[in-house]
Amino acid sequence: MAVDASSIATESMGILMSSDHKSVVSMNLFVALLCACILLGHLLEESRWMNESITALAIGLCTGVVILLTTGGKSSHLLVFSEDLFFIYLLPPIIFNAGFQVKKKQFFRNFMTIMTFGAAGTLISFSIISLGAMHFFHKFNIGSLKIGDYLALGAIFSATDSVCTLQVLNQDETPLLYSLVFGEGVVNDATSIVLFNAIQSFDLSNINTSTALQFFGNFLYLFAASTMLGVAAGLLSAYIIKKLYFGRHSTDREVALMILMAYFSYILSELFYLSAILTVFFCGIVMSHYTWHNVTESSRVTTKHTFATLSFVAEIFIFLYVGMDALDIDKWRFVSDSPGKSIAVSSILLALVLVGRAAFVFPLSFLSNLTKKSPQDKLSLKEQVTVWWAGLMRGSVSMALAYNQFRSSGHTDLRANATMITSTITVVLFSTVVFGLMTKPLVRILLPVSKHVSSMISSEPSSPKSITASLLSNGQDSEVNRGVEDSEANIGPVDIPRPTSLRMLLGASSHTVHHYWRRFDNAFMRPVFGGRGFVPVVPGSPVEEIGHHWRREGTNTRV
């Protein structure tokens, strides 16, 4: 018996070691592919067509083909897709860094438009896609789909790809469009996930007025609670760092605290079944406004590049895996006998995505323009077309939701589930590659670069030394002059259109929402939570003199 037990233990250890070795080999190959994506992306950086997302997708597809050939058609990827890996580890740094780096003046200037597009627009798109799928898919013999599956399809394909938006639009060249499309994308993803979770939790076989009102109330609660949780986490981190001032002993502590507090807000939101995307996004905005200015200069540089690097690697990781997973043989086995039907289903879904987005972008843009007094704040028809086109890409959020809905019963056992997953993959690949490739040329054709640059210089200076900063800020600390954005890509020497700036200055209202928020922020928020001009005053600290300098400069400017 002892011999048998010993041999069994030895055999088990051998199997475990073999499994661990395979995992190590897979991770080595995946890291090598990540390096290849970065190198190739750098070489293609000046291309008007390619970007890191499409490069990673292409490398993932090529790698999948190689793995299929070497394994005899048994597998196409190195790692197994996991929703936890995506939602818990890869998505948080991407969304947080977007909130941390976003130009807040542009974002909040168009806040109502962004919320209208992201919330109301998603509901419109969700309705059109769900009803369209319900109408057309009955004509195809793809298996049994319940009403919950059709509604889930509406939520899945209403989720735009915020990650790819970061790659195809430039925050400096097109600040208005970037803030609209990306801001809408973040709210859109959050709305789609809230809708998806509500669909899974509600009894859809018995829909009535009470259920609809309950659904709407739950929707508003999730939005408000998620936002407040992110704001609270950001303010807490700012208060702790301002009061304790870790930097006088070790900058590592304050950097670690910022990273962990940001991630803690995301995990806490998941724990309470809130929208973690909204939570970590607003946590990033609050941290950039308060916490980032309370740390030492070296910590500012470190945190800015750390968040950007984590986000960059996570983006490449996602698209690389999507490319490999697209060739998974198990998903395509059930649809291989009727490829025409699979193409038809994918085409219908793609057409519904196009129609669903157009159904809210143009009408809501028209309504938004009616509320804007300044012509520069209104969306022209060309800009509306760009907003419509740039938001057509579907990505990793759609794939993760599709896996969640259609893999629970096993996509290898049910034809309908396999068809829905393969159709989702087809739409994601087509929209990312085709729409992603065409977005940059479309922006250059519809909206020339010179127009973007002059608009960006006149409305949102990227440097505190810019002459328009003193003209347009009216003695108040402008959000865009903070350090996070000072180190963004420099657009080079440009002749500043002074008449335009003066006209903007004379035409600007001195009593706006931003004006009153500034007064409240300077009087109550910054003295408690810190921020630019209200850094910790600790004897001998490296930021004490900077704080006095900012205070004196602000006082002189106001005088």
Q: CATH code at 391?
A: 1.20.1530.20
317 with 78: CB under 8 angstroms?
no
381 domain-assigned = yes
CA–CA separation, 304 vs 291, rounded Å? 12
Q: Which two tokens stand for residue 151?
A: 């509604």
CA–CA separation, 252 vs 384, rounded Å? 45
Per-residue pLDDT, 505: 39
User: Would the pLDDT of 29 be above 70?
Assistant: yes
497 domain-assigned = no
470 domain-assigned = no
Amino acid in the structure at residue 89: Y
Q: Which of 284, 252, 254 is nearest to 266 (CA)?
A: 284
DSSP secondary structure string for all residues of 191-214: HHHHHHHHHHHS-TTS--HHHHHH
354 domain-assigned = yes
471 domain-assigned = no
When pLDDT is cut at 50, 70 and 90, the band that residue 15 belongs to is: low
507 domain-assigned = no
CA–CA separation, 549 vs 543, rounded Å? 10
456 domain-assigned = no
> Which range among 184-198, 220-234, 404-418, 436-450 shows the weakest confidence by mean pLDDT?
404-418
Total domain count, the chain: 1
Residue 288: give the domain boundaries.
83-446
Average pLDDT for 101-119:
82
Q: Which two tokens stand for residue 498?
A: 């002074």
Average pLDDT for 492-516:
47
Average confidence score pLDDT of the chain: 75
User: Would the pLDDT of 493 be above 90?
Assistant: no
Q: Which two tokens stand for residue 472?
A: 């347009």
136 domain-assigned = yes
When pLDDT is cut at 50, 70 and 90, the band that residue 550 belongs to is: very low
Q: Distances from the Cα of 456 to the Cαs of 329, 490, 497, in angstroms?
A: 48, 12, 11
Q: Using only the alpha carbons of the chain, give its radius of gyration.
A: 25
Tokens 């009593």 correspond to what residue? 511
Amino acid in the structure at residue 538: V
CA atoms within 13 A on the CB side of 237: 30
Per-residue pLDDT, 168: 67
* 3-state DSSP assignment of residue 75: coil
When pLDDT is cut at 50, 70 and 90, the band that residue 546 belongs to is: very low
> Which range among 344-358, 434-448, 517-531 shows the weakest confidence by mean pLDDT?
434-448
When pLDDT is cut at 50, 70 and 90, the band that residue 317 belongs to is: confident
Average pLDDT for 504-531:
70
In terms of residues, how long is the chain? 559
Q: Phi first, then psi: give them for residue 169, nearest 5 degrees.
A: -115, 145
CA–CA separation, 320 vs 395, rounded Å? 12
User: Would the pLDDT of 437 be above 70?
Assistant: yes
Q: Which of 108, 118, 181 is nearest to 360 (CA)?
A: 118
Per-residue pLDDT, 49: 63
